[in-house]
């Protein structure tokens, strides 16, 4: 939610800021803005409602600010509608200090009232303006920027990653963090701050992750870090290995399509380094054997698509481990007083590693003594750093708001974990283990087979893109898969869609099926195929138009019953949903394309959800 970028550099700041904002735009696209300190020491601000391209155009028409130190922001609106006034950066009323902010200041109203009583006037509805006005108020009193920053940090409550400029300090930029992602980059041509590493890759690969309560002072040649008590601290730096091209579209019309097509490679990167000599090797777990041996209950906690991975994981892990497994929405888990102890393993799944609800669930789990293992894509992210054990998906940067390759690789890694644990706990017979290891190795090739002919899905989508409401139905793992298929479709095409356990339809929802209603029936789970066919027949009897998904094994039972059949290769039942989701992703993509939707940046959404 919201992306921030900052540069204290040795070259013009504007191109660096705009380039960085382009990489961060997936975090929010309600407005964009920049502030730069000019050579004369003046703060110049340009901001506009709408996409970054609107700001770019403005900068072309008007004089772009010059100067080498600047901050930028791309907004996902929380407080105040998306308009020019609410766009960041915000200035204090003297125009001396500028702030960009990602997060929410929870006590902003109380501070705003006290500043209003002091005669300070506000020009926006945002919580961020309260911070900058307070900062300027303290600064006017103490005439020392760091004193003012620490005074503000002592007053504000909530989540924030902020970049701060003050025209009396034209050679520096300040960064502060609490419960929102922020990293600092050190390059030859300057120092940088950003919400996400993709914004920095063009300038540096050496980064330091800021922790809660820390403050950084950036100049073109140096970065100094301070803790909550203002004592200087040394911070470890990390080298980022992601390649710049991985964050570009590479000839595809959308990041989403590129990321769908990248799935065979992404799965390979997840699987290959973890298989050696016919064994699954999870080195990360070798140092913590007690984590497996003592576990009595597992919670899988996540949001959105990552939660859907958890739903599939529940079916799979319960079977593999003979332990109770619950999949929980992170936003519910943290407030549901879960019963956890040192024998509970909490698996947190997150692509970004920054989702606030998942982070809060992780902290709650640790507070209660549970062990936390996370499955994360973004290296060095907050969830990864706070977990007892982290397994990285290594899927590479995912830019499209709708997740695809992160979802499949999370699922593959969760299954690998399940099989690994099952073996350690003595629940898996040797033959099945060998088959599964072999099938994990072959999975990238099987995924490539599904992607061989995307035209099939494009043609199907052309026939169905005008529907207003779509139902996904399935049983067992197919039900969990339907949740993801339905989310993919609704989030990018804006078609109303719901997913139901097929057996549950007749308990109410079937009343919504009428002639012409589109039903996507998922029928890859062979043990329940007869039951799934009965459900297809039931909706057809009410006039539904049915598309089905099956494997080579189940196709014969369904053919002839449905208007359209997508068939994926049959693999071990555990791994089947990894292939099954791909046609659903492509179908959603092409439906959205036919409807002229903004696929990579669907309305009202942002990729990294760092607010509650």
Helix 430-450 and helix 405-424: axis angle, to 10°? 170
CB of 155 to ligand F6R, least distance (A): 30
Q: Strand ranges (DSSP E) for 409-556?
A: 469-474, 496-501, 518-523, 545-551
CB of 351 to ligand F6R, least distance (A): 3
Window 265-304: contact mask with ligand F6R (x via CB under 6 A): --------------------------------------xx
The residues carrying an active-site annotation are 2, 607
CB of 289 to ligand F6R, least distance (A): 28
Measured at CB, which residue is nearest to ligand F6R? 304
By C-beta, is 191 or 377 nearer to ligand F6R?
A: 377
By C-beta, is 120 or 417 nearer to ligand F6R?
A: 417
What is the C-alpha to C-alpha distance for residues 384 and 378, in angstroms, rounded to an integer? 8
Q: Kindly report the length of the chain.
A: 612
By C-beta, is 8 or 349 nearer to ligand F6R?
A: 349
Strand order in the sheet with 325-329: 325-329, 297-302, 344-350, 371-376, 389-392
By C-beta, is 130 or 330 nearer to ligand F6R?
A: 330
Residue of the chain from 351, 524, 564, 576 that contacts ligand F6R (CB under 6 A): 351
By C-beta, is 551 or 610 nearer to ligand F6R?
A: 610
Window 387-406: contact mask with ligand F6R (x via CB under 6 A): ---------------xx---
CB of 355 to ligand F6R, least distance (A): 3
By C-beta, is 176 or 609 nearer to ligand F6R?
A: 609
By C-beta, is 148 or 362 nearer to ligand F6R?
A: 362
What is the C-alpha to C-alpha distance for residues 239 and 376, in angstroms, rounded to an integer? 18
Distances (CA, A) of 343 to 122, 183, 338, 364: 52, 34, 13, 15
Q: Is 591 in the site for ligand F6R (CB under 6 A)?
A: no
CB of 308 to ligand F6R, least distance (A): 8
- Residue corresponding to tokens 């009583």: 117
Among the candidate windows 5-13, 62-70, 352-360, 532-540, which touches ligand F6R by CB under 6 A?
A: 352-360
Residues 271, 272, 276, 279, Cα dihedral to 10°? 20
CB of 296 to ligand F6R, least distance (A): 26
Site for ligand F6R in 403-422 (CB under 6 A): 403
Site for ligand F6R in 463-522 (CB under 6 A): 487, 491
Residue of the chain from 305, 344, 524, 585 that contacts ligand F6R (CB under 6 A): 305
> Cβ neighbours of residue 341 under 8 Å, at least 6 residues apart?
368, 369, 370
Angle at 136 between CA 97 and CA 77, to 5 degrees: 65
> What are the phi and psi torsion angles at 526 (to 5°)?
-55, -40
Helix (H, G, I), strand (E, B) or coil at 609: coil
Tell me the torsion sign for CA atoms 346, 352, 353, 354. negative
Q: Is 350 in the site for ligand F6R (CB under 6 A)?
A: yes
Tell me the torsion sign for CA atoms 405, 409, 411, 412. positive
Q: Is 585 in the site for ligand F6R (CB under 6 A)?
A: no
Q: Is 306 in the site for ligand F6R (CB under 6 A)?
A: yes
Q: Is 131 in the site for ligand F6R (CB under 6 A)?
A: no
- Return the number of other C-beta atoms located less than 10 Å from residue 202's C-beta: 13
Helix (H, G, I), strand (E, B) or coil at 510: helix
DSSP state of 357: H
What is the C-alpha to C-alpha distance for residues 3 and 299, in angstroms, rounded to an integer? 31
Q: Which residues of this protein are in contact with ligand F6R, per CB under 6 A? A: 303-306, 350-352, 355, 358, 402-403, 487, 491, 608-609
């Amino acid at each position: 939610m919201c992306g921030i970028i900052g540069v204290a550099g040795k070259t013009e700041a504007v191109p660096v800021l705009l380039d960085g904002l382009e990489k961060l735009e997936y975090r929010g696209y309600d407005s964009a803005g920049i502030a730069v300190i000019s050579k004369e020491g003046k703060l110049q601000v340009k901001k506009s409602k709408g996409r970054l391209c609107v700001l770019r155009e403005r900068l072309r028409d008007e004089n772009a600010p010059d100067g080498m130190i600047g901050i930028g922001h791309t907004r996902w609106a929380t407080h105040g509608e998306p308009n020019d006034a609410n766009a960041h950066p915000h200035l204090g009323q003297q125009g001396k200090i500028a702030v960009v902010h990602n997060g929410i200041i929870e006590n902003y109203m109380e501070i705003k009232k006290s500043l209003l009583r002091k005669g300070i006037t506000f020009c926006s509805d945002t919580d961020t303006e309260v911070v900058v006005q307070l900062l300027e108020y303290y600064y006017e009193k103490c005439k020392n920027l760091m004193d003012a920053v620490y005074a503000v940090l002592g007053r504000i409550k909530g989540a924030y990653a902020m970049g701060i400029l003050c025209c009396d300090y034209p050679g520096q930029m300040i960064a502060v963090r609490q419960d929102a992602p922020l990293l600092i980059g050190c390059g030859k041509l300057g120092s940088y701050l950003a919400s996400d590493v993709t914004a920095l890759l063009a300038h540096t690969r050496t980064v330091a992750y800021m922790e809660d309560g820390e403050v950084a002072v950036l100049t073109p040649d140096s970065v100094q870090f301070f803790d909550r008590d203002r004592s200087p601290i040394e911070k470890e730096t990390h080298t980022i290995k992601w390649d710049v091209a991985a964050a570009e579209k590479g000839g595809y019309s959308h990041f989403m399509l590129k990321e769908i097509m990248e799935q065979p490679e992404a799965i390979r990167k997840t699987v290959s380094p973890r298989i050696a000599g016919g064994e699954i090797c999870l080195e990360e777990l070798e140092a913590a054997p007690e984590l497996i041996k003592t576990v009595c209950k597992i919670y899988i906690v996540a949001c959105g698509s990552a939660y859907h991975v958890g739903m599939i994981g529940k079916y799979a892990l319960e079977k593999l481990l003979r332990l109770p497994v619950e999949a929980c929405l992170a936003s519910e888990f943290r407030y549901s007083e879960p019963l956890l102890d040192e024998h509970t393993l909490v698996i947190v799944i997150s692509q970004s590693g920054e989702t606030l609800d998942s982070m809060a669930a992780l902290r709650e789990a640790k507070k209660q003594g549970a062990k936390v293992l996370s499955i994360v894509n973004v290296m060095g992210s907050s969830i990864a750093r706070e977990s007892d054990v982290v397994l990285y998906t290594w899927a590479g940067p995912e830019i499209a708001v709708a997740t695809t390759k992160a979802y499949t690789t999370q699922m593959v890694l969760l299954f690998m974990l399940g099989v690994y644990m099952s073996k350690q706990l003595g629940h898996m017979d040797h033959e099945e283990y060998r088959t599964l290891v072999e099938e994990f190795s072959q999975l990238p090739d099987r995924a490539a087979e599904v992607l061989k002919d995307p035209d099939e899905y494009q043609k199907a989508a052309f026939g169905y893109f005008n529907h207003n409401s779509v139902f996904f139905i399935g049983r067992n793992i197919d039900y969990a898969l339907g949740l993801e298929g339905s989310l993919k479709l609704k989030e990018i095409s804006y078609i109303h869609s719901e997913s139901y356990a097929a057996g549950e339809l007749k308990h109410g929802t079937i009343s919504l099926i009428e002639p012409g209603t589109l039903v996507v029936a998922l029928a890859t789970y062979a043990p329940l195929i007869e039951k799934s066919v009965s459900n297809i027949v039931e909706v057809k009897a009410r006039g539904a138009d049915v598309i089905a998904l099956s494997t080579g094994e189940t196709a014969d039972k369904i053919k002839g019953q449905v208007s359209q059949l997508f068939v994926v290769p049959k693999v071990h039942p555990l791994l089947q949903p990894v292939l099954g989701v791909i046609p659903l992703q492509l179908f959603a993509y092409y439906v959205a394309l036919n409807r002229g939707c903004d696929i990579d940046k669907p309305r009202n959404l942002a990729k990294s959800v760092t607010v509650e």
